[in-house]
Amino acid sequence: MRFKLLKNGKDLSDDNKRKIFNIKNDNQIIGLAYEMKESLVQLYDYLDVSVAYEHVKHWLSWVDSEGD
C-alpha cells in the first residue's frame, strides 16, 4: 500500500483510490500527508510560472501552519 500512496492519485485504479480513502479516514496524519503530496504534484499541471509560484507559496504556508 505504501507505493500506492506515493503514486500520482490520477494514476490509481478505482479500487486503490477507495483503499487510500479508507486509510486517510483511519489515520489523520497519513491523510494530511497524502493531501499535501497530491497538492504539490498539481504543480506540474500549471503552464504559467507565476501561477505555479503562487501555488508553492500557498502550499508552503499550509505545510508550515500544520507544523505548529
Q: What are the residue boundaries of the structural domains of the chain, listed by start?
A: 14-66
Q: What is the pLDDT of residues 39-65, one digit of tens each?
A: 999 999 999 999 999 999 999 999 999
Would you say the C-alpha torsion 17, 40, 29, 7 has a positive or negative sign? positive
Residues 6+ apart with CB under 8 A from 29: none
Cα–Cα distance measured from residue 45 to residue 64, given in angstroms and rounded to the nearest whole number: 23
| HEC profile of 12-67 | CCHHHHHHHHHHHHHCHHHHHHHHHHHHHHHHHHCCCHHHHHHHHHHHHHHHHHHC
Q: What is the pLDDT of residues 6-51, one digit of tens each?
A: 788 888 889 988 888 888 888 899 999 999 999 999 999 999 999 9
